Every structure is written in C-alpha cells, then in structure tokens.
Structure 1
Amino acid sequence: MVRFALTSLLYAPAALLQIFTKAPVAYYPPSPGGGSQLDNAGGGLGEPLNVIISGLSSPSVLTDTGILHYAQAIGFSMECLSIHLGAPQSANLGDGHGWVNQTLELRQDYGDPDLGTCLESLVGGNHFRVFRQNGPLANSGALFLAVSKEEDVAEGHTIIPDGYNVGRDDMVSAAQGHTSYEGVKYFTIVQNVTGLLAAGSVGVNHGIATDGIVQLLTVTVV
C-alpha cells in the first residue's frame, strides 16, 4: 500500500505536486486559475495588484516578517499604533484558495518606522496591501501588492488622481538597487510586466485609470 501511494505521487499531476512543494517560478498569472489582477475593494470594483515580489526572491523576504523588514528598508512600516481603519480587501490569485483577505497593509513611514505611519494617516502618502500566492494550484510564494498613493484624512484617504500609477512608481523607485534595514542588506531588480493588468479604468476602484504595467521585483538579501 505504501509502495502504491509513493508510485501514485510520482505520477501525480503537476498541480497536485505543488501542494507539497513550492514551484521555482517568479509568479503565476492569476487569470488562468480563475483569479484577477484586481483585488476586491467592494461594490464590484477592485484595486490593481500593480507590484509583485517575485517568488524567486530570497525566501526570507517572502515571509510575513521578511516583507515587513523589507518594507521598512524602503520607507514603509506597520499602520499607526497597529490600528487599522476600514475593512480589509481580498484577492483571488488563481492559486486555488479563492478570495483571501490581505495579509498585511503597510504605510509610508516618512523616515520613522515606529510612528511615521501616524503622519501618513494624517497627511496622506503611499501604502500597499500584501497578498500571498501559495495555494495548491499555483504555489509560487510570490507576494502580490496593491500599491496606491492616497489623500489626507480630511479627504477620507481616497486615492489621489493617477494614484495607482504614482504609488507604484514611487514605491519601485525607493526599492530599486541597494537598500538596508537593521543591518540586513537588499538588492532589488525591477522588470516591467504587461498583459496581466488591463490598462484603463474598467472595474477599477474610484474610476482611476491605470497604465496596465505591473512591476516585478526580485529581492535578494546580500
């Protein structure tokens, strides 16, 4: 019986084998697995998953603690006093898990990883939501990020005009090349990816158009 089980596993479909092993790929496109490059922001609209941290990055970066420390190296940190206002958004990354709530939401820290995000909550700035692709159908380990730049609290933290493109570009500019946090050094390579996200504003939250570009970041601890 044991021999039969092992033999069956050897000849199992690739999708089944991904349950047991993380595939060495940068990411899987969500659409073939029934997913979307827009998350679910409510009301039938979504925010673009416009940055991907590659599954080929250093494994430590792809953990919850690792992405937090990497974010702190590029100017983001936990929300002010760990208080989150508003409902979490969800994403379907086509990995077999369906719609899953965000893992983290991180905000621009204005140079102070402890209290700087409190300033962002007041005056606005950049922020991003993190979703992990690790289901049985597409286990890349990649992190899909919904990045956007928002208005101040008086404007209800709505997204600024062109805020999805601007937020993405500001984040990537801060991340590219050499960065560090608490003695850990990172090197980030950036690649433009098209074909994952449709350009325009159809289905996009707040009706704000995007240019359709997704930035793929491969982050190495050096």
Structure 2
Amino acid sequence: MLFAFTAASLAIGVAAVAAQGGGNASFVDPTTQGGSFFLMATDGLGEPLNVVISGLSSPEVLTDTGFLNYARAVGFTTECFSLTLGTLFTANLGDGNGPQNQTMELRESFGNAMFGACIEMFLGGNHLRMFRQDGPQANTSALFLATSAEEGLFQNHTISADGYDVGRNIFANMAAGMTQFNGTSYNTTVQNLTGVLPVGSQGVNHGIAIDGNAFLLTVTTV
C-alpha cells in the first residue's frame, strides 16, 4: 500500500529549506541557482529528481559507500554483474558544479543484495540514479534521486505507466521507518515536497505525466 502523504501534515516549503544555508541545509532548491529538479535525459527531455536524501541525514549515509549500504537496507543493489545498462545521465543541481554525471545507478534487489538486480533487469521493478549536491554554491551533500518503475528486458526497460510517481512512492514506502543492512540500522522520516516540479508531461521523458511532488527523506543511523 502506498503512502498517502498529505500537504497539511507533511508539506515543507523549499524556500525555508534553502534559507538554512549551504552546509547546514536539507538541500538547496536547484532552480534558484540555475539548476533543475530534472536530470537531463535525451532529446532535451528530463526525468524528475523525485526523492531527496536530506543533507541533515547522518553524514555516513551521504557518502558513496554509506548510501549504497542504506540503499541495500531499503531494497536496492548494484547493477547485475556490474553491467551498467543504458546511458549515463547528467543533472545540474544548482550547486556551481554545472551538469554532472550520475554518481551511481541501482536497481530493486527483491531481497537479494547479490543477484537481485539481475531479477529486476529481466522482469522489471524499481530503479534509481543518484546525484550529489556538493558544489561551492550549495555544499549540502544532499543526494538527489531519480526513481522510476520500469518494465523488464524484453520491453527494453521502458518506464512503466505513471512510472516516475509510482517509483517515487515505492521507494518512500520501502525506506520509511526502520531498516537495516550489514549491521547498520537506519531510521527514515519522509516529508512531502509539494510543487517542486511542474505537473503534467511537458518536457518529461517518454511523455509520462508527473504530479509535481517529491519526497524529502532524512536518514539517521541508529
């Protein structure tokens, strides 16, 4: 069952987040500094960066190694036999670094951190690309995720119908509350970032409409 986060109970203003300042902020809104809440895909189209791991999370979670362990606790893992499928996408997070390649790409593990991504590769499932906001204009260390539900190998990993919002919701469902992997436990709280993206399909890769919202996750090691 997907979370039904309400604007009244969990909405958070992006301006208020940004006002905390780089280094002590959940994140800085990329659009205020020449960036975007979309990664750059193909033909001038984008895919929504619809989950943000707060820069106020435990510092170890925001490293590459720490995020990978957290992602495995949530139910994701590295590519099948380390084979990267598809194109490396870029994103400009408005931090002064300009467009940067994704830091990592992970797939749903189906409970198997070793080979689960092979299942996702063939059958489809959830999928994410991670980018880090750490440039001189917004050094928050926040992690921006482009999550999506996709079809399997024989459908060429096409994004599922409503796949961006569905992928976001699945990730939040899997992450919220207590999770653990390899001896580390995590507590994740989820807030709704309302209206940080445009509503509809204009400019969105594959012409898939989105609802304009993202989730802000704050992750604390326990």
TM over 0.5: yes
1:77 and 2:77 equivalent?
A: yes
CA deviation after TM superposition for structure 1 residue 198, in Å: 1.1
Q: CA shift at 1:51, angstroms?
A: 0.1
1:116 deviates by 0.8
* Partner residue, 2:138: 138
> 1:22, CA displacement in angstroms?
5.8
Distance of 2:204 and 2:28 partners within structure 1: 22
- Counterpart for residue 117 of structure 2: 117
Deviation, 1:34, is 0.4
Letter in 1 for 2:171: M
CA RMSD of aligned residues (A): 1.0
Q: d(CA) in 2 for partners of 1:68 and 1:199? A: 31
Match for residue 4 of structure 2? none
Aligned to 1:100: 100
CA contact (8 A) 2:22 2:137 kept: no
> 1:26-105 maps to which residues of 2 (within 5 A)?
26-105=26-105
CA distance in 2, matches of 1:116, 1:152: 13
**Counterparts of 2:214 and 2:86, CA distance in 1:** 26
Residue 166 of structure 1 aligns with an amino acid whose one-letter code is V
Cα displacement string for residues 106-159 of structure 1 (whole angstroms, at most 9, x for unaligned residues): 000111000110010000000100000000011111000000000011110010
- Residue-by-residue CA offset, 1:30-79 (whole Å, 9 max, x unaligned): 01110010100111001000000000000000000011000000110000
Secondary structure of 2:178's aligned partner: strand
- Kindly indicate whether residue 154 of structure 2 is the aligned counterpart of residue 154 of structure 1: yes
Read off the aligned partner of 2:119 and give its amino acid letter.
Answer: L
Q: What TM-score does the superposition give when structure 2 sets the normalisation length? A: 0.89
Question: Aligned partners of 1:208 and 1:22: how far apart in 2?
Answer: 33
Aligned-partner SS, 1:68: helix
TM-score (structure 1 length as normaliser)? 0.89
Number of the residue aligned with 1:216: 216
For residues 118 and 212 of structure 2, the distance between their equivalents in structure 1, rounded to whole angstroms, comes to 31
2:18 alignment counterpart: none
Larger radius of gyration: 1
Q: For 1:26 and 1:196, locate their aligned partners in 2 and report how far apart those are by CA, in whole Å.
A: 15
Q: Percent identity?
A: 55
Give the conservation status (yes or no) of the 8 Å contact 2:49–2:214: yes
Residue pair 2:22, 2:28 contacting (<8 A) in 1 also: no
What amino acid maps onto 1:199 in structure 2? V
Q: Secondary structure at the match of 1:142?
A: strand
1:195 CA displacement = 3.1
Partner Cα distance (1:132, 1:181) in 2: 22
Partner of 2:203: 203
Q: Partner amino acid for 2:89?
A: Q
Q: Which sections of structure 2, spanning at least 5 residues, go unmatched?
A: 1-20
Q: Number of paired residues?
A: 202
* Structure 1 segments unaligned to the other structure (5+ residues): 1-20
Residue of structure 1 equivalent to 2:194? 194
* Residue 176 in structure 1 maps to residue 170 in structure 2: no
Cα distance in structure 1, aligned partners of 2:36 and 2:79? 26
